[in-house]
Structure 1
Amino acid sequence: MNSPRRLFIVGQNSELYQQWSEYLSGTDWAVEIFTDYDDVKDTLLGNIDSSALVLLDMSLSEVRDFKFLGGVGSTNAFIVVLENPTATEVATCYRNDATDILIKPFDQKELLKSLERSAKYQKLLVENQGYREQLEAANRNLQDSLRILEMDQIAGRQVQQSMLPVTPQRFGDYEISHFIVPSLYLSGDFVGYHCIFDRYLVFYAADVSGHGASSAFLTVLLRFLLTRILRRHVHNDDRDAMARAPQGFVEYINRQILAIGLDKHLTMFAGSIDMEQNTLRYAVGAHMPMPVLVHDGEVEMMEGKGKPLGIFEDVHWSISEKALPDKFALVLTSDGVLEVLPGESMEDKEQFMLSAIASSDTSLDSICQQLGLRDLTESPDDVTVLTVRRGY
């Protein structure tokens, strides 16, 4: 059985209101009559969680005292009873959120029709209030979830940052350093470098497809795999393997990514410098742009190509070898750098990068300044710069 609907009749004609109440006794309307305006205000304001339909039989100036019935968030619909009103008075009532207007004289059937019209409107008010509360609760839950996610992302970023190598580092005559600006809390770009047997400077830069936690997880895996390989070579005193590095390294990473099945791929540049012979051996896994070599006042883009990692099985990456000058700078960037450089075409962007590097003093800070990366607050893609220098 449905609960009775509440009707408050407010005015001074108690005898007439009693007749209305008797007429409505055969319906589901529960009628309360108020002749004291303060009483009805206290009742309405004291039951803020419940709704009622209010019928106001009074002058327009008195109706204004009940304007609290309307407005945003209210579920109390009200009907105004007027006698010989002007068009302005009718408009004023509706502007003050009146649900309906009854103009005297009217019969009891008209009264009931007005009540039913207003009740339908009031039902919408109650439903909308419920939807609003549900939406507010959902928004609160969403905000809480976002805060938790943000905290997790910040914690993940701190972990990822802690796994990056210290920058800058010097190994004999060589200096290596890096700069990374993630597009999100977690980065898909990652770099690593180690000096093995005080002779081989091994380094890499990787760019994992996508963004977020899954891409960042793969960068953690890369660091683990590289560290494990190098520790094994050191433990076994395998200097021949280090002399061939990075031969086999990219293939090993490729197999591990495919085995995990993360549906991720990455590009990579992996290099190893024999600091006694001053020679660079490197493999390219679809990394772009190619590293820039600065020497004798000239800048040149190195050559090399190869497939990305994590897509193809049984792929071999060729090893290129290059004798390095006594004084040089090797500048390795991710494709995110190209995203923020001016230029209409890829050639324009690469030319700008070459000019910017040529005008720098080859230090990491100077290169980033010339490329406009130091003041970079946001980027559509992760941005990475890695430099290896000798003789500076």
Structure 2
Amino acid sequence: MTAANRPPLPIDQAPPRPGRLILLVDASAAQRRLLARMLRRGGYEVIEAEGARQALQLCESRPPDLVLADWSMPDMTGPEFCAAFRRLPRSNYGYVVLLTSGADARTITEGIEAGADDFLTKPVAPQELLARMAAGERILRIEEELRASNTQLRQALAQLSETQAAMERDLREARKLQQGLVRARSGRFGGIEISLLLRPAGHIGGDLVGFFPIGEDRVGLYALDVSGHGVTAALLTAQLSVHLSGTSDQNIALRGALGPEDAGPAALACFFNTMMLEEMNTDTYFTMIYAELNHATGHVRMVQAGHPHPALQRADGTVTHLGQGGMPIGVFERPIFDEIDVTLAPGDRLLIASDGITEATTPNGRQLGNDGLEAVMRTNAFLNGHSFLESMAWSVSEYCRGERQDDMSAVLVEYRGTGQVIRLDDDR
């Protein structure tokens, strides 16, 4: 057949990338010329080597994309060449095809173990040669796309790491600011001592506790828990703290915005409920206990709005959980809140704890609950103030094996007017 009537060589549907380089390794000059002509017609750039060592030197100076090497070379076998080729430093993958006189199972196994990707049996048909090169092209394109994707992923991870580090710094500062919302961690009013615990589960949380003086013989104290966690909850607690701060021009309970003085703590819960529904465009709500304590008489008036039941521990060690629960703030237009009246006697203590304490859960799903809290109170009855709160926090963390998922907060009110220490009842 003459060159004029020879049919054109078939080209793979996906043409090779311009500049794709093939290294052709064969001791026979005639065989190299034949194969090189086929490959160049297929659109490849070809460099030639008559032996394995010359080929390896070319790979170091000009790394090829694909390699077509004879199994039998004067200075090295095909598998030996493959193993040496794989040891060369490369920035990308090199696809290796070995030319064999007959590829049996042993030959294929030996070549694959040495690093060969494909095999061609001599004599080589042009169509099969270009088809095998096209298959190698697809592998190389996939490898290049994966490498590009990995590069993009590394860049994205680096940017994400920088962003996360910046967020961590911001959250640490936000934690300091949020902790600063609790201006005083303890206070003494006559015979009454108040101690506070605020411990977010993460950097920032949605719990808030505090107290402020009202006149000469009364003090207001509060504990609230915003639904959810993170920035949204923290922002709402910050806004609520403004309304409960100690300055009379901002504190709702001090500036006369709740109506007559005898309106009681429930008026504050109603004010917040209206504010949440009418002024805030959010699905967030919160639970709260707000109490007004007469530190001269020990009388406490409080409102419970969905918050866990306050625990009253009398001087004899008995514990009573107060209240019926009430509804959360910011959910219903006409909520029902529970109003509680109780009088503390010397030696009594009142604990207002968040659900991060009562709902602390063991790894197998068992909650601490009111009974567990009562046990903690009895165990730590000989402690007072912050020592009691820290011991309680440690007990809760141990209960849930350090896997605490919610914020912990508490207000501890102790009537220590007579200097008595709460004691355990030996019969209990």
TM-score bracket relative to the smaller structure: 0.7 to 0.9
Match of 2:30? 15
Where does residue 156 of structure 1 map in the other structure? 174
For residues 40 and 228 of structure 1, do their structure 2 counterparts lie closer, same or farther at Cα, with a shift above 3 Å needed? Answer: farther
Give the match for residue 149 of structure 2: 131
Which of 279, 291, 296 is the aligned partner of 2:310? 291
Give the equivalent residue in structure 2 for 1:253.
Answer: 272
Return closer, same or farther for 1:341/1:148 CA change in 2, 3 Å cut-off.
same
Equivalent position of 1:181 in the other structure: 199
Q: Distance in 2 between matches of 1:23 and 1:63?
A: 23
3-state SS of the aligned residue for 1:113? helix
Counterpart of 2:321, as a letter, is M
- CA gap 1:42/1:386 in 2 versus in 1, 3 angstroms: farther
Supply the distance in 2 between the matched residues of 1:211 and 1:350 (Cα, whole angstroms).
Answer: 23
Q: Sort the Cα spacing of 1:163 and 1:341 in 2 relative to 1 into closer, same or farther, 3 A.
A: same
Counterparts of 2:195 and 2:114, CA distance in 1? 69
State the percentage of identical aligned residues.
Answer: 21
1:191 aligns with 2:209: yes
Amino acid of the structure 1 residue aligned with 2:116: A
CA deviation map 1:161-209 (0-9, x unaligned): 1112322332332211122332222111111211233422211111111
- Whether the aligned pair in 2 keeps the contact of 1:368 and 1:374 (CA below 8 Å) is no
Kept in 2: contact 1:200–1:242 (CA 8 A): no
Equivalent position of 2:292 in the other structure: 272
Structure 1 counterpart SS, 2:245? helix
Give the whole-Å Cα distance in 2 for the aligned partners of 1:319 and 1:110: 89
Match of 2:67 in 1: 54
Q: Give yes or no for contact 1:157–1:186 (8 Å, CA) kept in 2.
A: yes
Q: Secondary structure at the match of 1:332?
A: strand
Distance 1:64 1:280, change over 3 A: same
Q: In the TM superposition, what is the alpha-carbon distance from 1:21 to its structure 2 partner?
A: 1.6
**In terms of mean alpha carbon deviation, does 225-234 or 88-97 score higher?**
225-234
Partners of 1:303 and 1:275 in 2: CA distance? 21
Q: Deviations over 1:274-310 (max 9, x none)?
A: 112221010010111x111111212111124321101
- Which stretch of the first structure deviates more once superposed, 363-372 or 304-313? 363-372
Counterpart of 1:382 (choices 398, 403, 407) is: 407
Cα pair distance change 1:249/1:39, threshold 3 Å: farther
How far apart are the structure 1 equivalents of 2:374 and 2:135?
Answer: 75
For the Cα contact (< 8 Å) 1:191–1:206, is it kept in 2?
Answer: yes
> Normalization by structure 2: what TM-score?
0.80
For normalisation by structure 1, the TM-score amounts to 0.86
Are 1:115 and 2:133 an aligned pair?
yes
How far the C-alpha of 1:65 sits from its partner, in A, is 0.8
Counterpart of 1:373 in 2: which secondary structure? helix
Structure 2, unaligned runs of 5 or more? 1-14, 420-428
Question: Which residue in 2 is equivalent to 1:373?
Answer: 396
Q: CA deviation at 1:251?
A: 1.4
CA, structure 1 residues 45+204, in 2 after alignment: closer, same or farther (shift >3 Å)?
farther
Task: Flag the structure with higher helix content.
Answer: 1
Query: Aligned partners of 1:358 and 1:12: how far apart in 2?
Result: 92
- 2-structure distance, mates of 1:192, 1:235: 15
The change in CA–CA distance for 1:365 and 1:236 in structure 2 (over 3 A counts) is: closer
Counterparts in 2 of 1:62-101, with a 5 A limit?
Answer: 62-68=81-87, 74-84=92-102, 87-101=105-119
Q: What's 2:184 paired with?
A: 166
SS of the residue aligned with 1:248? helix
Give yes or no for contact 1:165–1:193 (8 Å, CA) kept in 2.
Answer: no
Distance 1:338 1:164 in 2: 22
Kindly indicate whether the alpha-carbon contact (under 8 Å) linking 2:226 and 2:237 is maintained by their aligned counterparts in 1.
Answer: yes
Judge conservation of contact 1:14–1:33 (CA < 8 Å) in 2: no
1:63–1:208 distance in 2 versus 1, CA, 3 Å: same
Count how many residue pairs are aligned between Structure 1 and Structure 2. 387
Residues 210 and 45 (structure 1 numbering): CA distance in 2 closer, same or farther, change over 3 Å? farther
Match of 2:228 among 203, 207, 210: 210
Change (3 A) 1:256 1:35: farther
Q: Deviations over 1:284-341 (max 9, x none)?
A: 10111x1111112121111243211011224464543222212311111111112325
Q: CA deviation at 1:216?
A: 0.8
Among 161, 166, 169, the residue aligned to 1:143: 161
Judged with a 3 Å threshold, the aligned counterparts in structure 2 of structure 1 residues 244 and 277 are, in CA distance, closer, same or farther, namely: farther
